[in-house]
Chain A
């Protein structure tokens, strides 16, 4: 990672006048799309909104936007990491955020492979079965934790002695 930190593009990004700030802007603003649509999907899984819309329709029509948002978040996030790899790596909030991201993705993946398999049975239910509600709830929690950790990254004294 020291090697990564010393590449010319990493340094250029870290010291840039505008580029870093543009990437950071994209990262923070895209969360309205990524987390925004994910929250709407999770709320449907919890039976708390759009109860008349079939779950499968909510998934198929909104998830692509969540996916596009996620791609942008990862791309911009990777660049932000690359701008100062050592600093990010040693930031406790960054590590926590990445850990939660892994758990959030795992939660979504497991849900899609298990409970969601039977969606045809409960597609039209205003309140989905427990497994779906748990997945939705965990998902919401992970976005809240990630937003918190992301924001707190700025507040860690990040210089090494």
Chain B
């Protein structure tokens, strides 16, 4: 079964057909997706601004990172689960849209990066990390998240 065929199978399965039958279900799920995005934005900015020497710069980065992580996870759970539903609803359409795939690639990259390198640097003792490294990590994180956001917004364009 090709990816496209899998997409079609999912899209036209009973639950998804039922989802599309409602005039308001898709918009509501899209709205919740956006709310998750806002929470992710706040959690990411809290840490990355600090790593750039901005925002809550008088606080130890590690503590901020710990505080933010549960909201990042919460936001991700909401956005990823709603995102999966949104995708399944029009899977064969998204299959053909390049910005969808760009968004997914950037999302995968940023998730891996955030929960490995970024986390290690953010949670490290302030004395042990150079400002240069903190800034680099923050910039990579912000760039990737920006790519995810733009990709998502531009899904509908060829």
A interface residues with partner B (beta carbon < 8 Å):
21, 24-25, 28-29, 31-33, 35-40, 43, 49-50, 52-53, 57-58, 61-62, 65, 143-144, 147-148, 151-152, 154-155
Which chain B residues numbered 41 to 80 have a C-beta less than 8 Å away from chain A? 41-46, 49, 55-59, 63-64, 67-68, 70-71
Binary CB contact string for chain B from 11 to 42 against chain A (1 if under 8 A, 0 otherwise): 00000000000000001001100110111111
CB-CB nearest in chain A for B24? A155
Across-interface contacts of A58 in B (CB, < 8 A): 56
Chain B interface residue count, CB cutoff 8 Å, equals 33
Q: A50-B67, A151-B30 are in contact. Are A32 and B55 (CB under 8 A)?
A: no
Collect the chain B residues with CB atoms within 8 Å of residue A24's CB: 153
Q: Can you name the residue of chain A whose Cβ is closest to the Cβ of B26?
A: A155
Q: Are A40 and B149 in contact (CB under 8 A)?
A: no
The docked-state distance in angstroms from the alpha carbon of A147 to that of B33 is 10
**A57–B41 contact, CB under 8 A?**
no
Closest to B157 in A: A21
In the complex, residue of chain B having the shortest beta-carbon distance to the beta carbon of A61 = B56
| A125 → B minimal CB distance (Å) | 16
- Shortest CB-to-CB span from A92 to chain B, Å, is 14
Q: Which residue of A lies closest to B63 (CB)?
A: A52
- The answer to whether A32 touches B38, judged by C-beta atoms less than 8 angstroms apart, is yes
Residues of A within 8 A of B149 (CB): 29, 32
Mind listing 30 A-B residue pairs with CB under 8 Å? A25-B150, A28-B153, A29-B150, A31-B34, A32-B41, A32-B42, A32-B149, A35-B38, A35-B41, A36-B40, A36-B41, A36-B42, A38-B42, A39-B38, A39-B42, A40-B42, A43-B71, A49-B68, A49-B71, A53-B59, A61-B55, A61-B56, A62-B46, A62-B56, A65-B49, A147-B35, A151-B30, A151-B31, A154-B27, A155-B27
Q: Which 10 A-B pairs have the closest CB atoms?
A: A32-B41, A36-B41, A36-B42, A35-B38, A40-B42, A39-B42, A151-B31, A61-B56, A50-B67, A148-B31
Q: Is B27 a contact partner of A151 (Cβ separation < 8 A)? A: yes
Q: B9 within 8 Å of A by Cβ?
A: no
> Which residue of A25, A32, A35, A152 has the most chain B CB atoms within 10 A of its CB atom?
A32
Taken residue by residue from 124 to 158, chain B's Cβ proximity to chain A (1 for < 8 Å, 0 otherwise) reads as 00000000000000000000001001100110010
Chain A residue numbers with a CB within 8 Å of B37 are: 31-32
Please give, as numbers and ranges, the residues of chain A lying within 8 Å of B45 by CB-CB distance: 32-33, 36-37, 40, 65
User: Beyond A39-B38, A40-B43, A152-B27: 10 further Cβ-contacts under 8 Å?
Assistant: A31-B37, A32-B38, A32-B45, A35-B41, A36-B42, A40-B42, A40-B71, A50-B56, A62-B46, A143-B38
Expressed in whole angstroms, the minimum distance between the Cβ of B99 and any Cβ of chain A is 12
The answer for the CA separation of A57 and B55 in the assembled complex, in Å, is 10
Nearest CB of A to B101, in Å: 19
Taking a contact as CB atoms under 8 Å apart, the answer to whether A40 and B38 are in contact is: no
Are A151 and B34 in contact, with the CB atoms below 8 A?
A: yes
